[in-house]
Each structure stands twice: as C-alpha cells, then as structure tokens.
Amino acid sequence: MKKILEILLEKRLFILLLAVIVMGAGIYSYKKLPVDAFPDVSPNLVQVFTETQGLAPEEIEKYITFPIETAMTGLPGIEEIRSVSNFGLSVVNIYFKEGMDIYFCRQLVGEKLQEAKESIPEGFGEPKMGPISTGMGLVLFYYLKDNTGKYSLTDLRTIQDWIIKYQLLTVKGVTEVLGIGGFEKQYQVIINPQALLTYNITLQDIIEKIKENNLNVGGSFIEKNGEEAVIRSIGLVQNIKDMENIVIKTFDGRPVYLKNIAKIKIGGAIRRGIQTRNGVQEVVAGMVVKLYGTNSSEVIKNVEEKIKEINKSLPKGIEIVPYYQQKDIVEASVSTVRDALLQGILLVILILFIFMGEFRPSIVVAGSIPFSILFTFIGMKLLGMSANLMSLGGLAIAIGMLVDGTIVVVENIDRHLKSGEGKKSIFEVVKTASAEIYKPIIFAISIIIIVFLPLFTLQGVEGKTFRPLAYTVALAMLGSLIYTLFLAPTISSFLLKNKVGTGKSKGEILLEKMSNSYKPLVEKFVNHRKLALVIAGILLLSGIIIFPQLGSEFTPELKEGTIIVRLTMPPSISLNQSKKYAMIVEKRLLKIPEVKEVITRIGRGEVGAHTDPINSAEIYVILKSKNQWRKKGDQEYIEKTIRSELGEIPGILVNLTQPIEMTVDELLEGVRAELALKLFGEDLNTLKEKADKIAEVLQTVKGATDVQVDQVSGTPQIVIVPDRKKIARYGININDIQVLIKAAVGGEVVGKIFEGTKRFDIFVRFAKHERDSVNKIKNLIVTSSNGIKIPLSELATVKEIIGPRQITRENGQRFITIQCNVVDRDIGSFVEEASSIIGEKVKLPPGYFLTWGGQFKLQQQANKRLAIVIPITLLLVTLLLYSSFGSMKNATLILLNIPLALVGGIWALYLTGQNLSVPASVGFIALFGIALENAMVLVSYLNQLTEEGIEVDAASVKGATLRLRPVLMTALTTALGLIPLLLSTGTGSEVQKPLAIVVIGGLITSTVLTLLIIPSFYKWFRK
C-alpha cells in the first residue's frame, strides 16, 4: 500500500487533474440525467385493445377476449394475462417478466395477434396493441377553451383530432395523443323507414348504393405528344349535396334519390365518454402519452413549447389549457429531496468545521462530498437511471457517510503531524499515516455497500422502487472510497502542514472538554461490566416489547398534490345522466376553499389509455398552491373535507385516489385503490353475491373506507333471438335480420368523406324515434327474398333481461374485485383483522377462492424476500469481519451493535407514530452499515492498544477516549445529513421520512453502545 501511496504522491498533480476530469464528467452527466417524480414502477406490459360495435360483455369475452388470451398463452417470458370485457371493448393485458425488452415483447404479441385474428369472427373488431408507454406515460392533460362561445363541441373536437393531435405527435418523445369529449364529426344518413316501404327499398340497398357511389379509380396513363398523362376518375362524394343526389333506384320511371329516403346532415358520432369542467360545461380534452423510456421532464417541456406554437395558429378565441401535468409533481418531488440534500451537505460541513477546528483539514474532508456525488451521477448516467425521489434520496442518506473514511484518514494524518514526526517530510507522514488505516477503511466502506445488498435483490414494484436508492448509495460510497484512498492523501500533502509545537485548535479544545466529561463515564462502565450488560439487556427487551405494536404498510402514501374523486354510478345509467351527477359533484367540490378547478372524465375517449364504462367518472380536483391551504401542506385534511362535503350520494360509490397512484394500481392489480380482494370463480351471479357479502363485512372493519365491489352485472339488455323455423318459411337468412339490427338500430359506417386530409365517416341509421323502444324494434320490417314485408316480432323473440356490466379475467379465470382504502391505521393489521372476520362470516363454494392484492401484496413480497436475503447478508458481513480481525469474538462484539441500533430505530418509529414500511426497512439496513463502521473503528484501535502491551481495562478507556471524535463525527454527520429529510414537508417527504426517523433513532442507541457498551464488553470479546 505504501508503494501505491508513494506513486500517488509523486504524481499528485496528475491525480488532481484526473479528479477534476471526473467531477466535470459528473456535472455533464447530471445535466443529461432524465428527471422523474418517482421510479417508473409500471410492469412490463403489452396491452391489446379491440373495439367492436354493439357487442355485450359476454359476447366480447367469448368471441374476442378468449381467443386473444388463448393465443398469448405460452409466449416466452409471460407472467400473467389479465383482461376486461366491456360493452363494445376488449382489453387484454399481457404481463412479461421484468427485464425483457419491451419492443421484443411487442414483437411476440404482434406475431401472435395474427393467429388470434383468425379465431375472431369477421366483423367483430380488429385487435390492436396499445401505445408504447407505461403507467407513468400520461404526462399532460389539457382542454380546449373557447373564449368566443361561437364554436360547437363538434367544431372543437375536429380541431382537437385534426390540428392539435397531429402537431403534438411531432414532438420528440410523444407516442400518442388521445382525445375525449365533444362530438366526432360524421355525415349522418338518417333513414325514414316509411320511405323504404313506399319505394320498396331495403336498408341493405341504401348501404350498397352509397358504397357504389363513393369511390375514385385510376386509369393508369396514356401517351400524349411524347408525354405521359395520368388518368384519374373522381367519384368520391365531396359534400352533403353529392350524397343527397345519389340514385338509389328508379321508381315509375323516375330516379329515387337518397334525399327522398333519408335526411343527410352533419352530426356527432356515438360516444362512450365525455369531459366536463367546473359543473357548468362540457369540454373537449386531450391526453399526451410519452414514449417508453423517454425523459418525462424533457417531453413535457417540449410539449409545452409546442402548445404555445399551436395556440398561435388556432382559430381566434380558442386556446389549449393544460390542467394536469406530471411536471408539477416531478419538480416538487425533486425539489424536496434536492433541498434536503443541499441542507444536509451544509450541516455536515458545519459539523466538520466544529470538530476538526481547522480550515485546512476540514476542506480535505468536505471535498469527499462533491466528488462522491458527481461520481454517482456518472454511474447513474451509465446505468440509465433517472434523477428522482428515490435515487436522490439515496444520496441524501449517504451524505453523512461519504466523509466517514476521509475523517479517519485526515484525523490520523493530523495526529501524526502533531505527534513529533514533524522532522519527516510531509510526504512521509501522509504515506505512513494513510497506510496505517487503509485496511479497516476499505473493509468498513465495503461492508456499508454490502449491507444494501438486500435492496438489489428486490423484484417487481418493490425492486423498481428501491433499487435506485441502493444503486446511488453504493455508487456514492464507492466514490467516497476512491476519494479516501487516492485523493485525500494527495490533497492533504498540499494543504496540511507540520504542526509540532503549535497551539491547540478550537476543535482540540472542544474535544478535550468532551473527553474530560466522557472519560469518567466510560471508566465507570468498564469497571462495572454487569451494569453495562443490564442496560443493554433492558434496551433490547424494550425493543422486543415495542416491535409487535408497530403497524405495517408497503410505503407511506405519496401526496401528489392532485386528488382524483372516482364516482361509480348504477350500471344501467345513461351517459347523459352520468354527466348530470358528475356536474353536481363538481359544484360541491368547488365549495372547498383549497380547490381551484374541477375537471371530470366520464367513460372513455379514444382507446389507448382508459377503458372505463359510462357509469364511471374520474374527477380531477386541481388544488391551489399549498400556501393557500387552510392547513399548510396537509392533503389528508382536504381529502377528509371532500369526503365530508360529498357525504352519501344515493346510488353512487365514491373513492379517492391520485393520478399516478391510480394508474399504477390499475396496471398492477386491475383496481384503483390501495387494497383489493380478488374473488375467483366461474358463475358471475355467485361472484357478485359473495363479493357483496365480503364488502358488507369489510365495512365493519375499523379503518375501511371507499369500499366498492366491481359492478359485473346490472346492465339492461334487449335480446333478439331469431326463430330459425319461422325465417325458413319466408326464405330469410339470419344475416338478413342481423344486418337490419346492426344498421337500423346500431348504425353502420358505410364510407368516408374527405375534406382535404381530414376524413369523416358516413354513418347510416334509422331516425331515433323509429328505434328508441322495444316496440319500435319489434316493428322493424324484414324483407324476404320474394319481397314480402314481415315485422321482426313475427320472426324473432325480443325480450328484456339484466346482463353483465363487465367481465374480468386473470390467467383464464373469472374474478370480481372488492376494493377499499385504509385510513387512520396500517394496512398490515387491517388485512389481518379483515381476513379473520371474512373467514368466519363468508363461506365460499368449492372452486371459489380469495386473494389479497394492492399495497398489501407488495408489502408481503418485499418482506418475504428481505427475510431471506438479510440473514444471508449478515452472514457475509460476519465472514468479512472475521477475515478482517481474525477473531470470531471481535466479530461478535461488533455485530452486537446491530440489535441495539435497531432498538433505537424501533423506538423512533413508535414515538413518531410511523408504521413499519419498506422505507423504514431501508433505514434499518442503512443502520447496519453505520453501526458496524463505528464499532469496527473502535475495536480495531482497542486491538492496536492491547497489542502494544497496554492492560485491557486501561486500553478500553484510552481507546474509547481517543476515538471519541471520529465516532461522534461519523454519527453526527450521518444524523444531521438526514435532519432535512426528517423535517421536510414537501412532495415526496412522506416516503423518505420513515427512513430518516429510523436512522436518526438508531444512531442514538448505536452511538451510546459504541462509546459505552463496547469498551466495557471488550475484555470478554478480545482476541
């Protein structure tokens, strides 16, 4: 090691130059890092959407969903297949193993879709893959504001679909722009059935004639005067007049035009979703979806700039108004942890100056912080990580630990310079002092990195959430090790001077006073080891008693600053009635002082993001800035106010969530709440009956709120069943009846009209008053092959039944979900109590079973893996300690620091009312490393003193007194580095706070243990 140090000191200018290059690369990497609010925990998912006109959920399941599921089964890397069959829409979610390339997954699905298409009956829809995005991909929502009042909802939707959408799609990183609200423009052919009878024309005749009279053809080319002239025959209809003049047939020698049979007008397409605002108006809105793997902040910034450009080109009085964008939570989250990081750095540097007492040594030690942080940014860039709440949070945790190794090196060099070695050159002193403590430093920092190993092994959501934190801690500690080994000696050789005969520094005076107070105390413990044993035992016992009283959860809820109120209305409700209810709720919400604006999405717009039925509404509650809240920063208070303001709305279920939380919950478990029970079984009626009973039981459990059961039934259906014997007598085919029902009642797209590059459907349908009741449907006229006119009621039974609202499946099995949120208690104890009560009060038939999902499932998965990996990690640490000290007794003494450090963390959680969560577990893991590091420093020095021949008790007292400064400095720098996270109230602080509480609480007990218990126990555990 001395040889390496000699080379370093000889090439010290070159080493400094390399350090400057590394730091420059770190600054460059930081500027290029993607910025997100939170690690993207979305699963590796490919979605397949199939839109079909008019089919009920049971038909969607049978003819579309099942063939797609079957085709996908067996694909390499598949973990799960989940589907939803809704009215007119099938959604199949195919989940692949983590780590598989998303484009490869899409390629596999794309190939299998061809096979699935062959199994889907003709005319039942075309399966298509969803956008190349994730659950965090919905980065910006906007609506169109008409300041003039002269544009219709159809006009605004046309502007959205044909101007705004295509311009936003040109923005780099945008993969899709989805519209909702208003009316999609159509050229509608409203048929008069009486005219059909008058002119003896069938509906199929009209459909065929429109198609025959709306086409262009090319006639290749001719040669003319040595040139080629292209032949074009223009036959596409251009406007309503062209359509009106389409000849359907000749009647009594006169042409019968389309206008004689139908009214042709511009209207709005059938819609399955609308958007409302502030309880007073419908609006046209759009959602921007970012491409998988792109930088959220950069995409949002580019979209915002593009919106400014588009606003200038829109018709006068129309503007795009963004109402929700991820940028707000990204900036707030990153700002929270960045501020905590900067404040932590300042506090750590302050402690360094106080304890070191001199400017030059403090500068050497403080230099470790910027070098290690910038080194970490290089690693993050190479690993493709983003700067987010968790990755930057890892740096905040590590801040205090980054200086630990450098403190030991610089303090040892400083001690040598004052010990009479001043006659030696500064190079010799630095070389000798550094070489003495390199081995324990390498071991100590290596152990800190190793104790974070459990976080690297986490999988799924918990892995994606916490691995970035582990990576940044490991990278930062590696950077600090490089600085300690190579740069600290080099910089010390420039800045530190020989100090023989110099007076005491302020730091030494402070240390002397602390040592004078500390020495009698440690002597008492060394001389009364049984007292130390009793105190340690009491501490340990208190932790064992308190631990079972802690609640448990996956992570504390991250408050995003935007609340979503989900309304689930009766399954039979119409879209217009849903709109009325939603607008009533909007008006109530606007009475709350903290609410700035309220925008509601009912049902679904363009397929690709949301698949909700029309009885489902999502109300985005946009809040004012936090300084305008009655209780500053308290989003829970606003949520309670919302629940109170809405109260019990007859026939409507209310659930509160947040944008990102809702999307991720839905993609992971298919629900939009933090906790879900899935009841699996075959019969929908049995599923509904048992689910309602479970929900009833759940509502009796303390803490349950927003309890809801999936609405799988309750949709009125009018079922038409042709009588095959009767239709055979008239020579009528099933197809004749089905075509009539589809076109007359449901309507049929028969072509398009082009307006420049814009294209709009030609839609044929009977007039509303001719198809708006069961009797009208029964009286539809079917024409036989020989021209006989027969009412539908003579050929088929028409009956009204109650059918399914939607059918959900997972891995080929039907299931129904009971979802709820938990307030004022932890999820772990809630699930334990609820499981017990449900087991007692709800008996399930054979073949039916329950599973818990949502946050509880994630917590269980994380705990299960940590329970395996942490003991393995401790075994590995034990082996390292043994190889370092050559003594199992020494290793055991150092490991004793861990349980007493944990006691401090447990008490800290208990006293602050926090639950045992995964962030708290991360805090305990960080405690392992910090506690072991301090114990290693002290035991190593005690061994050194006893080897020099000093009696054990005297060595214990002397060693503890001399190591007082480094032990206190490492503990205080780590604790103060986390104080800003502990006190922060910004967005994301909820997730980091348990971690900071555990580490600070544990540091108190572990520092007491290191300074008092280890010296007293050393005699029993020495080599």
Does residue 207 share a domain with residue 108?
Answer: no
Q: Specify if 907 maps to a domain.
A: no
* Mean pLDDT computed over 528-534: 82
Confidence band for 600, pLDDT divided at 50, 70 and 90: very high
**Which of the listed residues 481, 498, 515 is the one where a domain comes to its end?**
498
Does residue 222 share a domain with residue 129?
Answer: no
Give the model confidence (pLDDT) of 947-996 as tens digits: 777 888 888 888 778 777 777 877 788 888 888 878 877 777 787 888 88
**Which of the listed residues 104, 133, 162 is the one where a domain comes to its end?**
133
Q: What is the CATH number of the domain that holds 380?
A: 1.20.1640.10
Side-chain-side CA neighbours of residue 842 (13 Å): 24
pLDDT for 507 equals 59
* Mean pLDDT computed over 623-651: 84
Does residue 220 share a domain with residue 97?
Answer: no
Percent residues over pLDDT 90 in the chain: 32
Kindly tell me if the per-residue pLDDT of 364 is higher than 70. yes
- Report the distance separating Cα 555 and Cα 856, nearest Å: 10
Two tokens at 492?
């010390």
Confidence band for 322, pLDDT divided at 50, 70 and 90: very high
Q: Specify if 483 maps to a domain.
A: yes
SS3 526: helix
- Report the distance separating Cα 572 and Cα 804, nearest Å: 10
pLDDT for 509 equals 73
Residue 731 region, left (φ>0) first, then alpha (ψ -120 to 50), else beta?
left
Q: Specify if 968 maps to a domain.
A: no
Does residue 451 share a domain with residue 387?
Answer: yes
Domain count, the chain: 3
Two tokens at 507?
């730091």
Of the candidates 331, 317, 470, 455, which has an alpha carbon nearest to the alpha carbon of residue 391? 470
Residues pairing with 704 in the sheet? 822
Q: Specify if 19 maps to a domain.
A: yes
Lowest mean pLDDT among 252-266, 494-508, 560-574: 494-508
For residue 609, the 8-state DSSP code is S
- Report the distance separating Cα 406 and Cα 409, nearest Å: 5
* Mean pLDDT computed over 426-442: 74
- Cα distances from 380 to residues 344, 451, 477, 718, 770, in angstroms, run 21, 20, 14, 59, 66
End-to-end alpha carbon distance in the chain: 25
Q: Residue 341 in contact with residue 320, Cβ under 8 Å?
A: no
pLDDT for 668 equals 65
pLDDT for 319 equals 94
Q: Specify if 926 maps to a domain.
A: no
The more confident residue out of 835 and 459 is 835
Confidence band for 37, pLDDT divided at 50, 70 and 90: confident
The more confident residue out of 170 and 704 is 170
Lowest mean pLDDT among 393-407, 476-490, 608-622: 393-407
- Report the distance separating Cα 757 and Cα 778, nearest Å: 42
* Mean pLDDT computed over 136-152: 90
Kindly tell me if the per-residue pLDDT of 501 is higher than 60. no
Residue range(s) defining the domain that contains residue 67? 43-133
Kindly tell me if the per-residue pLDDT of 437 is higher than 80. no
pLDDT for 595 equals 92
Does residue 214 share a domain with residue 94?
Answer: no
pLDDT winner (highest mean) among 421-425, 440-444, 513-517, 585-589: 585-589
Q: Residue 589 in contact with residue 598, Cβ under 8 Å?
A: yes
pLDDT for 502 equals 54
Does residue 383 share a domain with residue 470?
Answer: yes
Of the candidates 459, 445, 588, which has an alpha carbon nearest to the alpha carbon of residue 97? 459
Does residue 254 share a domain with residue 377?
Answer: no
Q: Specify if 307 maps to a domain.
A: no
* Mean pLDDT computed over 516-543: 82
The more confident residue out of 78 and 463 is 78
Does residue 84 share a domain with residue 7?
Answer: no
SS3 321: strand
**Residue labelled with tokens 């209780």:** 631
Residues pairing with 49 in the sheet? 91, 128
Kindly tell me if the per-residue pLDDT of 811 is higher than 90. no
The more confident residue out of 58 and 926 is 58
Kindly tell me if the per-residue pLDDT of 667 is higher than 70. no
pLDDT for 885 equals 76
Does residue 238 share a domain with residue 119?
Answer: no
Q: Residue 918 in contact with residue 554, Cβ under 8 Å?
A: yes
Q: What is the CATH number of the domain that holds 786?
A: 3.30.2090.10
* Mean pLDDT computed over 627-653: 84
**Which of the listed residues 498, 525, 541 is the one where a domain comes to its end?**
498
* Mean pLDDT computed over 926-934: 78
The more confident residue out of 154 and 646 is 154
Lowest mean pLDDT among 366-370, 508-512, 644-648, 1003-1007: 508-512
Q: Specify if 1003 maps to a domain.
A: no
* Mean pLDDT computed over 996-1007: 86
Give the model confidence (pLDDT) of 328-357 as tens digits: 887 777 787 888 888 888 888 887 777 776
Measured at the CA of 416, the angle between CA 415 and CA 417, to 5 degrees, comes to 90
Confidence band for 421, pLDDT divided at 50, 70 and 90: low
Does residue 458 share a domain with residue 361?
Answer: yes
Give the model confidence (pLDDT) of 185-196 as tens digits: 999 999 999 999
Average pLDDT, the chain: 85
Q: What is the CATH number of the domain that holds 86?
A: 3.30.70.1430
Q: Specify if 606 maps to a domain.
A: no
Q: Residue 491 in contact with residue 367, Cβ under 8 Å?
A: yes
Two tokens at 973?
């720098």
Give the DSSP per-residue string, 308-344.
Answer: HHHHHHSPTTEEEEEEEEHHHHHHHHHHHHHHHHHHH
Q: The sheet that has 185-191: what strands, in order across it?
A: 262-268, 185-191, 758-766, 748-755
Kindly tell me if the per-residue pLDDT of 580 is higher than 90. yes
The whole-model pTM stands at 0.81
Does residue 481 share a domain with residue 426?
Answer: yes
pLDDT for 760 equals 94
For residue 181, which phi and psi values (nearest 5 degrees)? 95, 165
Kindly tell me if the per-residue pLDDT of 670 is higher than 70. no
Q: Residue 620 in contact with residue 562, Cβ under 8 Å?
A: yes
pLDDT for 932 equals 80
For residue 843, the tally of other CB atoms under 10 A from its CB is: 9
Confidence band for 762, pLDDT divided at 50, 70 and 90: very high
Percent residues over pLDDT 70 in the chain: 96
Amino acid at the residue 411: E
Does residue 11 share a domain with residue 54?
Answer: no
Give the model confidence (pLDDT) of 238-259 as tens digits: 999 999 999 999 888 889 999 9
- Report the distance separating Cα 221 and Cα 870, nearest Å: 78
Residues pairing with 142 in the sheet? 286, 322
pLDDT for 791 equals 92
**Residue labelled with tokens 């609200």:** 181
Give the model confidence (pLDDT) of 266-317 as tens digits: 999 989 899 999 999 999 999 999 998 888 888 988 999 999 999 999 999 9
